[in-house]
A and B are shown apart, each in its own frame.
Chain A
Amino acid sequence: MSNEVAILGVGMHPWGKWGKNFVEYGVKAAQDALADAGLDWQDVQFVAGGDTIRNGYPGYVAGATFAQALGWQGAQVASSYGACASGSQAIATARAQILAGLCDVALVVGADTTPKGFFAPTGGGDRSKDPDWLRFRLVGATNPVYFGLWARRRMELFGATEEDFAKVKVKNSRHGAKNPNARYPKAFTMEEVLASPMVSDPLRLLQICATSDGGAALILTSMEFARKHTANPVTIPAVSNVTPKYPNTLIEMPNFSTDSGAGISVPDVPFRPSIAKNAYEQAGLGPEDMDLAEVYDLSSALELDWYEIIGLCKEGEAERLVRDGDTAVGGRIPVNTSGGLGAFGEAIPAQAIAQVCELTWQLRGEAGGRQVEGAKLGITANYGLFGHGSSVIVKR
């Protein structure tokens, strides 16, 4: 049995700080995806929305919000929230509906409007039982604090340098400069990156992803439906939304501590690598089969962790990949050809969907100046705060 569904259409609203309602971004992305698929909104039988927690009630019920904005037509609906993994959960929901034979055409859509500055807990009041509130209250542990801890750990373990982290940003900014949907279409120099203000040592402002407005959408269909429209569709053979296995021994947002690894066997495969491993196993593929990857560079240092997590190299070897240019367009295994979060900033419920949009354009040969020649297989990887794995394999 095939586990594949087709990506018949993709669409995005450019990332930025537009100050509009998130619904507008999602509708624009959905309309572009429908036009790309050559389908009408009335053809959609299932709507899977990625939720935004920052935009009130319409954000919490994003699936229906977008369905209403596009015009109620009676489609089935679901809404997903998994922090940064919200988009891939929406993809997984739509895919399962299609594979179960419950529908042929699904719209997956996520969009966000974000505040300026650090992400902080939503809502007010004293929430002394909520770890996401407490981490800010007691430690001031912003997201970049966790990124900084992970980055410093790489320096201590593997001898990574500030220059290595800056190289990642420079590479991604060159990719982003060729992407019309990127928020920052500027190719930064090493000097500019290393002269930007320190935020959470060793990470500087230009090495930490911003918070952005944006929207992304996919039209997913059954393979049978897709073949009536195109001879060679881009497909999704795997979606991984794994949770960690106990004990999780890496400190993760929003936690104060790891699980205790005392007196208990620790999983052979830690949480982060298990995300990609599960996707590869579903697809019957491995990292050696991949032509490119879109990974979650919340910080430029974290991109190096991802090289190892998705199996592009062994632990401790990621710095060499970026130093040698392996992960730049034209290199052995280009990573974040879209420009990544460094060039986009994060629009939480849209971001995992946007990763799939980029791979789809790449596999169709429609990525313009950032095109990876002859790309046939790519992987996205990401994870949502608290323990939401997110990885999608895209194939042609």
Chain B
Amino acid sequence: MSKTPTPAVEGWFTLDRKAPHLLGTRCTSCSNVFFPKETTFCRNPACTGSEFEEVELSRTGRLWSFTNNCYAPPEPYQAADPFEPYAIAAVELEQERMVIMGQVVGGVGVEDLEAGMEMELVLDTLYEDDENEYLVWKWQPSQAAA
């Protein structure tokens, strides 16, 4: 029996497996965008807005910087045993002018990465339990560009 795909965090990304988007909010007064979602008070000090609309963020961007975890991070990270090192990317979204961090998909190491390359958002398994496959956003080098 297959496991139920479940977001590892509620409401942070769309569940479209082909072309997922991170979900942020936009202040309806000053148009500033927030990720993770800001829903109470606008963080722009020049704005008193308190109403927000949900927005899908750009799903591609340029690699700003990258690193990796050669050792398993501590809990609450649910590390696989045995632990496989994985890369982490900080990707700059051009339209939003925002850098967003995420894991890089398995099989792509730091030796495959270079600042400035185009990256795209995908959904992938963060960890599993008996019933569920918990999903998280990850970055991978853009397949279209490759």
Residues of A within 8 A of B (CB): 117-118, 120-121, 126-128, 131, 133-134, 136-142, 144-145, 148-153, 156, 197-203, 245-247, 249, 251, 255-264
> Is the Cβ of A120 less than 8 Å from the Cβ of B74?
yes
Interface residues in B6-56 (C-beta closer than 8 Å to A): 8-10, 30-36, 43-45
> Is the Cβ of A257 less than 8 Å from the Cβ of B74?
no
Which residues of chain B come closer than 8 Å to A262, judged between CB atoms? 32-33, 95-98
Q: How far is the CA of A114 from the CA of B74 in the complex (A)?
A: 15
Which residues of chain A come closer than 8 Å to B102, judged between CB atoms? 139, 256
Which residues of chain A come closer than 8 Å to B72, judged between CB atoms? 140
Given contacts A256-B36, A260-B96, contact A152 B73 (CB under 8 A): no
Q: How far is the CA of A241 from the CA of B107 in the complex (A)?
A: 43
Q: B65 interface residue, CB < 8 Å from A?
A: yes
Given contacts A152-B67, A260-B33, contact A139 B76 (CB under 8 A): no
> Is the Cβ of B88 less than 8 Å from the Cβ of A140?
yes
Which residues of chain B come closer than 8 Å to A251, judged between CB atoms? 64, 90, 99, 101
Q: How far is the CA of A258 from the CA of B35 in the complex (A)?
A: 8
Q: Looking across the interface, which residue of chain B has its beta carbon closest to that of A142? A: B73
Q: B146 interface residue, CB < 8 Å from A?
A: no
Interface of B is mostly: loop
> Is the Cβ of B65 less than 8 Å from the Cβ of A152?
yes
> Is the Cβ of B68 less than 8 Å from the Cβ of A200?
yes
> Is the Cβ of B43 less than 8 Å from the Cβ of A246?
yes
> Is the Cβ of B74 less than 8 Å from the Cβ of A139?
no
Q: Looking across the interface, which residue of chain A has its beta carbon closest to that of B31? A: A263
> Is the Cβ of A153 less than 8 Å from the Cβ of B98?
no
Which residues of chain A come closer than 8 Å to B74, judged between CB atoms? 117-118, 120, 136, 142
Among A128, A197, A260, contact of B32 (Cβ-Cβ < 8 Å): A260
> Is the Cβ of A199 less than 8 Å from the Cβ of B70?
yes
List 24 A-B pairs, Cβ < 8 Å.
Answer: A117-B74, A127-B76, A133-B76, A134-B9, A138-B8, A141-B73, A145-B67, A149-B64, A149-B101, A151-B67, A152-B66, A156-B115, A200-B69, A200-B70, A201-B70, A201-B110, A255-B101, A257-B101, A258-B100, A259-B34, A260-B96, A262-B98, A263-B30, A263-B31
Q: How far is the CA of A127 from the CA of B43 in the complex (A)?
A: 22
> Is the Cβ of B101 less than 8 Å from the Cβ of A256?
yes
> Is the Cβ of A142 less than 8 Å from the Cβ of B69?
yes
With A140-B77, A149-B64, A246-B43 given, name 16 new contacts (CB 8 A).
A120-B75, A136-B75, A136-B76, A136-B77, A138-B126, A148-B68, A153-B64, A197-B70, A201-B68, A256-B36, A256-B100, A260-B96, A261-B97, A262-B32, A263-B32, A264-B32
Given contacts A152-B65, A200-B69, contact A249 B97 (CB under 8 A): yes
> Is the Cβ of B9 less than 8 Å from the Cβ of A258?
no
> Is the Cβ of B90 less than 8 Å from the Cβ of A118?
no
Which residues of chain A come closer than 8 Å to B78, judged between CB atoms? 137
B96-126 interface bits toward A, Cβ cutoff 8 Å, 1 = contact, 0 = none? 1111111100000010000110000000001
Of listed B64, B69, B86, B100, residue having the most chain A CB within 10 A: B69
Q: How far is the CB of A140 from chain B (nearest CB, A)?
A: 4
Given contacts A256-B35, A262-B96, contact A156 B8 (CB under 8 A): no
> Is the Cβ of B70 less than 8 Å from the Cβ of A149?
no
Q: How far is the CA of A153 from the CA of B64 in the complex (A)?
A: 7
B56-68 interface bits toward A, Cβ cutoff 8 Å, 1 = contact, 0 = none? 0000000011111
Of listed B33, B44, B64, B101, residue having the most chain A CB within 10 A: B101
Q: How far is the CB of B11 from chain A (nearest CB, A)?
A: 10
Q: How far is the CA of A259 from the CA of B9 in the complex (A)?
A: 20
Q: How far is the CB of B94 from chain A (nearest CB, A)?
A: 9
> Is the Cβ of A139 less than 8 Å from the Cβ of B103?
yes
> Is the Cβ of B100 less than 8 Å from the Cβ of A257?
yes
Q: How far is the CB of B40 from chain A (nearest CB, A)?
A: 12
Which residues of chain A come closer than 8 Å to B77, judged between CB atoms? 136-137, 140
Q: How far is the CA of A149 from the CA of B34 in the complex (A)?
A: 21
Which residues of chain A come closer than 8 Å to B64, judged between CB atoms? 149, 153, 251
Q: How far is the CB of B114 from chain A (nearest CB, A)?
A: 8
Q: How far is the CA of A247 from the CA of B1 in the complex (A)?
A: 47
Q: How far is the CB of B121 from chain A (nearest CB, A)?
A: 13
> Is the Cβ of B8 less than 8 Å from the Cβ of A257?
no
Q: How far is the CB of B58 from chain A (nearest CB, A)?
A: 11
Which residues of chain B come closer than 8 Å to A134, judged between CB atoms? 9
Given contacts A262-B33, A262-B97, A263-B32, contact A153 B115 (CB under 8 A): yes
Q: Can you list the 3 inter-chain pairs with the closest CB atoms, starting with the nearest?
A: A148-B67, A140-B73, A261-B97
> Is the Cβ of A199 less than 8 Å from the Cβ of B65?
no
Which residues of chain A come closer than 8 Å to B101, judged between CB atoms? 139, 141, 149, 251, 255-257
Which residues of chain B come closer than 8 Å to A247, judged between CB atoms? 32, 44
Which residues of chain A come closer than 8 Å to B31, judged between CB atoms? 263
Q: How far is the CB of A230 from chain B (nearest CB, A)?
A: 44
